[in-house]
A and B are shown apart, each in its own frame.
Chain A
Amino acid sequence: DQQVKQNSPSLSVQEGRISILNCDYTNSMFDYFLWYKKYPAEGPTFLISISSIKDKNEDGRFTVFLNKSAKHLSLHIVPSQPGDSAVYFCAASRYNFNKFYFGSGTKLNVKP
């Protein structure tokens, strides 16, 4: 049973526009959420995170939004750049648990 889901396997966006990647979770006990970026043949790279006490966290072109009532988070990338083309994973964890639950990933293609 997958507790973190990314329902869009792929997304294509024009350079300079906004990319919005979505993620849903089922476990209301999750209190920390993360986004990772992965290029082919490399390990995932940490991008940005958000605690459940916040509803927004921003880092440069990347912003993560958390809607706890909907059990939904999203990653906004603006403006999108061709170098952002990669697979993006969301992940969730619980306080005091060394366990991270990952979504299946969304492949983002930013077209020049």
Chain B
Amino acid sequence: ETGVTQTPRHLVMGMTNKKSLKCEQHLGHNAMYWYKQSAKKPLELMFVYNFKEQTENNSVPSRFSPECPNSSHLFLHLHTLQPEDSALYLCASSQGSSSGNTIYFGEGSWLTVV
């Protein structure tokens, strides 16, 4: 069993659709993250939640809407996306604010916007 589980693994959506990505962590961590990885680009931090509170929004367009109902679950709601939003979306978790903090990733959700 992986520590961070993401669903769906693959998603194809039209530009007018509304869909959601789901993430669940089984590590007892307090912080959760959304990262985006586009082809040939570094991992881009999108959002950070610490104890369910959003502590970082890296200038992400409002068509991406995160939700963190508790420390174990994180969602990314998608609405009216653009083709350039097609990417691998990675969820991650970590223990929280401390030195020696290691971040663990899920398998990722491949998103294709058509």
Contact = CB atoms under 8 A, between A and B. Distances in A.
Interface of A: 2, 31-32, 34, 36, 41-46, 49, 51, 89, 91, 93, 95-100, 102-105
Contact of B102 (A34, A41, A102): A34
Nearest to A50: B100
Nearest to A42: B107
Contacts, number: 64
B94 interface: yes
Interface of B: 4, 6, 31, 33, 41-43, 45, 48, 50, 55-56, 88, 90, 92, 94, 96-108, 110
A32 B99 contact: yes
Contacts of B92: 43
A102 B108 CA distance: 16
23 contacts: A31-B99, A32-B100, A32-B101, A36-B105, A43-B4, A43-B90, A43-B92, A44-B90, A49-B100, A49-B102, A91-B103, A95-B98, A95-B99, A96-B97, A97-B97, A98-B56, A98-B94, A98-B97, A99-B48, A99-B56, A102-B42, A103-B42, A105-B42
